Every structure is written in structure tokens, then in C-alpha cells.
């Protein structure tokens, strides 16, 4: 395989500007979304412990349900970006519209399943008799906003594919503000309690979806793209997203297994694990922002038939991923005396937490590369390979993680297995990017 010439300093600066222009707003939008649950928790927490416990269970179910369908954003980003690169904005918008229709259909299906099964789902999570009624109320009302949440995912993918990450940032900030104001007004002003919190979130999500739809409709009209549902297009969107669904489910399985193992280790270990997992998720948002930039840029380059440019930007984003990982790892180490007391005052939890936290810090550069290559292959539409690679990773991780308690390992050993999991992902992704088989050009893959 012929080695591409090294990019000039001017090219590197151009790549850097493009990565920053897409990644920074994407990071802001990613961070804004979890704040919805944080605001709900802060407001509902003042109603009482049973209400907060009910919210925790229902929110976990909703977050899981929505995260499963994140492929709506990923697959749409790649497909739209390819058509943008190919110089066909009409087809790009049409592809995005198909993704939005798929989101509406999936959302309606989830609502139809959730409403009657809410008591069973809450019971499955073991909610107490006092918390269960509140959890059921919150889940049933909030589930009405799932179609809007999925439309937001798909429409975000459309705009990212169009190389626009600023609009999703503005919408996310507006949605966060509206959610906070509505929660206060409905929970306390209208006296609706936990139901008011749920309705506030539903209204905010629907408003966000409406803003996105206005933006997409305007783009469709400007380029003469049809807004009607097209069965073939919706089916193609589903087929493109299916492998990414498998990838996401496999990754969720890894996290669930790690939490289950931590729970077996004891109360101190699971408490420390939850703190570390929260921090790990926060660093993932920063690294995922670079991956999102990769999805949009790589898709555009390949759509334009520019494999040299795709390789150059991939190489530059890997450098960004490594640098970001080193920076995040250093921040974790240097700021640990400041943030650990915010999470716990228990000396036993702190002692258990610290060595495992250092493992997380040490593996951040690996995570930086993994996130970048993950985004590059998503942008290339290489979903089937990502699905297979994540299944292999799960198959390696699961037995090793389950052996940790049997071999007398603690939380630090568990997080070393998480580091091993990232190393396996690194290997599988390196093999693919090195092979060049992901460099498939054209408006469609």
C-alpha cells in the first residue's frame, strides 16, 4: 500500500481549525443532555426520598432506552456527510428525512410498549413499594417524549452530516433552560409533584424536536427535497443503523457486567465504582466530541472521493485523541484531591477509589485513540465491522471480568479489565484502519 505524503503545516492547521469548529460545539451539546436528568434530580429531590428514588429508577430506564437508539445520530451523520461530499445536498437532506421518519416510527413503537409495561419494568429494577408508584408515573409520562428524543437524535445527525454542530449546541442549551424552568413551574408552581417534572421534560424535548424539524424542513425546501416518508429510504436507514445498534448493545453489556461485578465485590466497591464510572463517562464526552467531528469530516471526504484527505484527517485526529487523552489523564491525577471529597466522605470508599482512578487516568490516551478510530469508521459507514469488533471485545472482556471476584481481585483489578477492554478495541480498530478497507468512496457505501 502506497504511503501518502505527510501533510504540510498549512494543511495541518486547516485540519485543526475544522476539527475544533466541529468538536467544541459537539462537546457542549453532549454535556447539555445529561443535565436534563441532573436538573430533574435536583428539583424532585426536594419532594422527598421516595420521589427521588422513583425518579432514579425511571430515569435509568429512559436513558437506556434512548441510548440504544443513538445509531440514529451516528448512521445519519455518515450517510448525509457522504452525500454532501459528493456535491448532492438534495440527496443529503432526503437521507436525513428518511432517518427522521425512522426515528418517529421507532419512538411510537417504544411508547406503545412502555405505557402498558411500566409497572413490570419498574418492578424488574426492584423499586421499593414507596418509590414504585412515583417511578411508574414518571416513566409513563416521560415515555411520551421518547419520539421527540429520537427525532432529536436523527436530526442532530442530519446537521452534523451537513457539518453543522453549532445548531445542536444552541438547541441543547435552549432545551436545558426550558426544562429547568418548566420543572420548577410545574413541580412547585402548579403543584404537580413528580408528574410535573416528567411533563416539563416532555415539553422541553418536544420543543427541541420542533426546532430541529423547522431547520430540516427549511433545508429540504431550499434544495427541493421531498419530506414524504419513503419506505425504501426508511428501510435503508434501518439497515445502516442495525450494525451500530449491535455495537451499542455490546458496549452497554460491557458496562452492565462491570457494574454487576463491582456489586459482588461489596458496598464500598460498588460505591467507588459508581463514582469512577461517572467520571469515566464525563471524559468520554470530551473524547466523543472528536469522534463526532471524525464522523462528519470523514464521510464528506469519502463522498468526494478524496481518500488521501481522509487518511490525512484521520491521522491528525488520532494525534488530537492522544493529546486529549494525556490531558484528561493528567487532570484526573492533579485534581483528584478536589473532586473526590465532593462525591464521598467515607474513608473506605476513598481508599478503594484512588488506585482504580489512577488506572482510568493511565488508560485515557488509549481511550482517545479508540474514540477517534470509532468515529472515523462510523463516518466511513463501516458499521458491520464495528459490530463484529465490539462483539469480539465483549467475548474477551466478559469472562475475564467475571473472574475478578473469584480470583480475589478488587475494584482496581476490575478497572484493569476495563483497560484491557479498551486495548482490545484499540487492536481491532487499528487492524481495520491500517488495512484501508474502510476507504470506500462515493455518495453511498
For residues 427 and 406, what is the distance between their CA atoms, to the nearest angstrom? Answer: 27
Pick from 395, 401, 403: which is nearest to 425 by CA?
395
Helix or strand (DSSP H, E) at 418: helix 411-435
Parts of the chain with a pLDDT under 50:
1-2
The three cell numbers locating residue 131: 418509590
Sign of CA dihedral 75, 81, 84, 89: positive
* Count of CB atoms situated within 10 Å of the CB of 44: 25
Give the pLDDT score at 66: 79
Give the pLDDT score at 335: 87
Give the pLDDT score at 372: 95
Q: Please return the burial class of 124, using the count of CB atoms within 10 Å of its CB with bins 0-12, 13-18 and 19+.
A: exposed
C-alpha gyration radius of the chain: 22
* Count of CB atoms situated within 10 Å of the CB of 417: 23
Those residues whose C-beta lies under 8 Å from the C-beta of residue 209, and which sit 6 or more positions away, are 147, 148, 149, 151, 152, 155
For residues 49 and 141, what is the distance between their CA atoms, to the nearest angstrom? Answer: 20
Phi then psi dihedrals of residue 371, to 5 deg: -65, -40
The three cell numbers locating residue 120: 413490570
Give the pLDDT score at 369: 96
Give the pLDDT score at 402: 94
Give the pLDDT score at 2: 43
Give the pLDDT score at 386: 96
Amino acid at each position: 500500500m502506497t504511503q501518502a505524503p505527510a501533510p504540510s503545516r498549512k494543511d495541518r492547521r486547516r485540519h485543526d481549525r475544522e476539527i475544533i469548529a466541529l468538536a467544541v460545539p459537539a462537546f457542549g451539546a453532549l454535556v447539555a443532555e445529561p443535565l436534563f436528568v441532573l436538573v430533574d434530580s435536583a428539583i424532585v429531590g426536594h419532594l422527598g426520598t421516595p420521589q427521588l428514588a422513583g425518579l432514579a429508577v425511571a430515569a435509568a430506564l429512559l436513558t437506556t432506552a434512548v441510548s440504544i437508539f443513538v445509531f440514529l445520530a451516528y448512521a445519519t451523520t455518515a450517510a448525509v456527510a457522504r452525500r454532501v461530499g459528493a456535491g448532492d445536498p438534495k440527496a443529503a437532506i432526503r437521507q436525513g428525512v428518511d432517518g427522521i421518519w425512522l426515528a418517529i416510527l421507532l419512538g411510537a413503537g417504544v411508547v406503545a410498549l412502555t405505557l402498558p409495561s411500566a409497572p413490570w419494568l419498574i418492578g424488574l429494577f426492584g423499586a421499593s413499594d414507596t418509590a414504585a408508584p412515583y417511578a411508574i408515573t414518571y416513566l409513563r409520562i416521560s415515555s411520551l417524549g421518547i419520539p421527540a428524543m429520537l427525532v432529536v437524535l436523527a436530526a442532530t445527525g442530519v446537521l452534523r452530516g451537513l457539518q453543522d454542530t453549532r445548531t445542536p449546541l444552541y438547541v441543547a442549551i435552549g432545551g436545558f433552560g426550558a426544562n429547568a424552568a418548566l420543572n420548577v413551574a410545574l413541580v412547585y408552581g402548579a403543584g404537580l409533584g413528580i408528574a410535573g417534572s416528567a411533563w416539563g421534560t416532555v415539553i422541553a424535548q418536544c420543543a427541541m424536536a420542533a426546532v430541529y424539524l423547522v431547520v430540516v424542513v427549511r433545508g429540504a425546501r431550499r434544495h427541493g427535497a421531498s419530506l414524504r416518508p419513503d419506505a425504501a429510504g426508511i428501510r435503508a436507514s434501518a439497515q445502516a443503523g442495525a450494525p451500530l445498534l449491535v455495537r451499542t448493545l455490546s458496549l452497554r453489556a460491557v458496562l452492565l457486567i462491570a457494574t454487576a461485578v463491582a456489586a459482588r465485590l461489596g458496598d464500598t466497591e460498588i460505591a467507588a465504582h459508581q463514582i469512577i464510572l461517572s467520571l469515566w463517562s464525563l471524559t468520554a464526552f470530551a473524547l466523543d466530541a472528536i469522534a463526532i467531528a471524525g464522523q462528519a469530516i470523514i464521510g464528506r471526504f469519502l463522498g468526494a472521493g478524496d481518500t488521501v484527505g481522509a487518511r490525512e484527517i484521520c491521522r491528525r485526529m488520532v494525534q488530537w485523541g492522544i493529546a486529549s487523552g494525556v490531558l484528561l489523564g493528567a487532570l484526573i491525577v492533579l485534581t483528584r484531591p478536589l473532586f473526590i471529597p465532593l462525591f464521598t466522605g467515607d474513608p473506605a470508599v476513598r481508599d478503594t477509589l484512588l488506585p482504580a482512578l489512577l488506572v482510568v487516568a493511565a488508560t485515557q490516551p488509549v481511550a482517545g485513540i479508540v474514540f477517534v478510530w470509532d468515529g472515523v469508521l462510523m463516518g466511513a459507514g463501516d458499521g458491520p465491522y464495528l459490530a463484529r469488533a465490539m462483539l469480539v471485545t465483549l467475548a474477551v472482556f466478559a469472562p475475564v471480568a467475571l473472574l475478578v471476584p473469584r480470583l480475589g481481585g478488587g475494584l482496581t483489578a476490575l478497572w484493569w479489565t476495563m483497560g484491557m477492554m479498551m486495548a482490545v478495541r484499540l487492536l481491532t480498530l487499528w487492524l481495520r484502519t491500517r488495512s484501508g478497507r474502510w476507504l470506500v468512496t462515493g455518495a453511498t457505501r
